[in-house]
Structure 1
Amino acid sequence: MPTLKTLQPGDEPLLEAFLWQHADTSMFLRSNCRAAGLLDEGARFQGTYVAAYINEAIVAVAAHFWNGMVIVQAPVHLAEVVQAAVTQSGRAIAGISGPAAQVEATKSVLGLSNRPTQLDESEILFSLTLADLQIPPALGAKQVQCRFPHSDELELLCEWCAAYNIEALGQKETSSLQPACRQIIEARQATSVHWVLVAENTLVSYSAFNAALPDIVQIGGVWTPPALRGKGYAKCVVAGSLLEARSHGVKRAILFTSDDKQAAQAVYRGIGFVPTGEKYGLVLFEG
């Protein structure tokens, strides 16, 4: 039987050594730990991490984060680490993410298989070695510009974030949505992990990294207003963000998207992303 331990500051190297073995499906865990450490005082990116140890090495981990998300990387002993993390944190559960099969198992372990969801998907995981990034002609010819947002553009990006959450994540348009999106956009602005595409002095598309490490980044939140779709803007903004990341030494990028989003898949394949063969699970519960 494994030994269970609630991770504390100082345990980061052992955690990273384990998660590195599952790098493509551990981006949120690795990035959140790097950003906020292993203390859990309820601040952004913090969570309660519980790991299973065998022979002093971590073999499974689950974390329950500040925003209610339970994130797993537990190829073994999943039930033990999930139950312990949720019990230790005392938080409500807003959703689950991690390798798709583990997410399904986590729903069952927590007795949430029948709880109503706003999103419940097993998504295709894509990867790109940035040396192989294919630059869209419009971006290469500087017909469009990819750059960090200006402060006076953040209000528009909050509106785009809300629209993305409604369309892509199934959220309802409630009074709390805009303030939550404002927090997201302001945090991304403060950490320089989002980009806009400009065509003829007009913002036309948006992309962000929802997890970032020195060697690898994860794309999230790609949004083009419906009236501007089909013009190649999404390819340009994602490629532009990855050019910037590559200039800072990042070697790889990953993302996940659902089977039925053929247009999104075409965008990503068009700049060099290929499926890894793994599936990533994402569940967001209603309410």
Structure 2
Amino acid sequence: MRVLRTSPVRVLGEGDSAAVHALLDADPVGNVFVSSRLRAAGLNPGRLGGELWGYVEHGSITALCYAGANLVPVNAGPDAVRHFAGHARWQGRRCSSIVGPVAAVTDLWQRLGPYWGPARVIRTRQPVLEAEQIPAAVVPDPLVRRVRMSELGILLPACVAMFTEEVGVPPDSGDGGALYRARVEELVRMGRAFARIEDGRVVFKAEVGAATPHVCQVQGVWVHPDLRGRGHSVAGMAAVVQAARAEIAPRVTLYVNDFNTPARAVYQKVGFREVGEVMSILF
């Protein structure tokens, strides 16, 4: 591990927990994904399923980089990004995406692209939205509810369809879908998968993919293709926001592709407003 001994980057462990969470809590919306993962699994790489790298300046951890299925920089300025990129190059690509603040991800990709590229998709700007007040004219769909474990077989095909539409490749192309199914099952078991299901078919669905006591992040919003244009997305999202605020976290967020005009219109109708932006590199 010579690289770690001669670099300000080191792999963090449980002894760093207080400093890590203080850094993450400084931006609870922007850091909700990493904070949620660490709250659920801790900092031990064996349980985390990845590593958390810390950038140390004058004895203090000033930036982080989550290195798991995603590579996610946190509070990383140019010096931290340079060192994180060097360590990532040394380790080799193990992630399926790089996601995070636009400036940091742009810098990371400029440094890693010649070695890890080409990327399959680059999404240069994805607005981060937070739900404010649901307009009085929007009535939450009373038929949107938590998905039951017995309905996993109904929900999973809808999740696969949504993922494929969004990312461009099916989530079960590598291992037959075992890991993806396990993740969907986990969200159902945790009460963070919501749907309107009629006659054995998903009409609308969304999941809360990340959550802390302060903030949660919605993902996987999808309406059955045969039923689009009927208002299910607006009423369904209002129901998810209402339930999430009451039972998961008081602040509800998500991020969306800037070119997805229909989705952005839906979120605006439900009361979401832009509070930041991220960038994604997909492999």
Give, in whole Å, the separation in 1 of the partners of 2:67 and 2:61.
17
Matched AA of 1:28 = F
Q: How does 1:27-176 map to 2 (within 5 A)?
A: 27-41=32-46, 43=47, 45-65=48-68, 67=69, 69-73=70-74, 74-76=76-78, 77-84=80-87, 87=90, 92-112=94-114, 115-121=117-123, 122-129=125-132, 132-134=133-135, 137-139=138-140, 144-172=142-170, 174=173, 176=175
Q: What's the offset of the Cα at 1:219? A: 0.9
Q: What's the offset of the Cα at 1:21? A: 2.3
Q: What's the offset of the Cα at 1:9? A: 0.4
* 2:23 is aligned with 1:25: no
Give, in whole Å, the separation in 1 of the partners of 2:219 and 2:85.
25
1:118-140: CA deviation from partner (whole Å, max 9, x where unpaired): 432121111124xx23366443x
Give, in whole Å, the separation in 1 of the partners of 2:197 and 2:218.
19
1:38-80: CA deviation from partner (whole Å, max 9, x where unpaired): 0111x5x532111112344322111211x3x211111342121
Give, in whole Å, the separation in 2 of the partners of 1:156 and 1:199.
10
1:104-154: CA deviation from partner (whole Å, max 9, x where unpaired): 21122223577233432121111124xx23366443xx6x41211123321
* Contact kept in structure 2, 1:64 and 1:86, CA below 8 Å: no
Give, in whole Å, the separation in 1 of the partners of 2:192 and 2:16.
27
Matched AA of 1:62 = C
The 10-residue stretch of structure 1 (105-114 or 180-189) with the greater mean CA deviation from structure 2: 105-114
Q: What's the offset of the Cα at 1:82? A: 3.8
Specify every segment of 5 or more residues in structure 1 that has no aligned partner in the other structure, as ranges.
Answer: none
The 10-residue stretch of structure 1 (48-57 or 92-101) with the greater mean CA deviation from structure 2: 48-57
Residue 72 of structure 1: SS of its match in structure 2?
Answer: strand
TM-score (norm. length: structure 2): 0.86
1:144-197: CA deviation from partner (whole Å, max 9, x where unpaired): 412111233211211111111111111147374543432221111122111012
Quickly say closer, same or farther: Cα 1:279–1:195, change in 2 above 3 A.
same
Quickly say closer, same or farther: Cα 1:180–1:234, change in 2 above 3 A.
farther
Quickly say closer, same or farther: Cα 1:30–1:244, change in 2 above 3 A.
same
Residue 94 of structure 2: SS of its match in structure 1?
Answer: coil
- Which structure 1 residue ranges, 4+ long, deviate > 6 Å from structure 2? none
Q: Which residue of 1 aligns with 2:271?
A: 272
Give, in whole Å, the separation in 1 of the partners of 2:153 and 2:197.
16
Matched AA of 1:162 = V
TM-score (norm. length: structure 1): 0.85
Give, in whole Å, the separation in 1 of the partners of 2:248 and 2:162.
29
RMSD of equivalent CA atoms: 2.6
Q: What's the offset of the Cα at 1:211? A: 0.9
Give, in whole Å, the separation in 2 of the partners of 1:86 and 1:239.
43
Matched AA of 2:257 = S
Quickly say closer, same or farther: Cα 1:8–1:201, change in 2 above 3 A.
closer
Matched AA of 1:134 = P
Matched AA of 1:184 = R
* Contact kept in structure 1, 2:216 and 2:248, CA below 8 Å: no
In the alignment of these two chains, the number of paired residues is 274
Q: What's the offset of the Cα at 1:33? A: 0.7
Quickly say closer, same or farther: Cα 1:112–1:39, change in 2 above 3 A.
farther
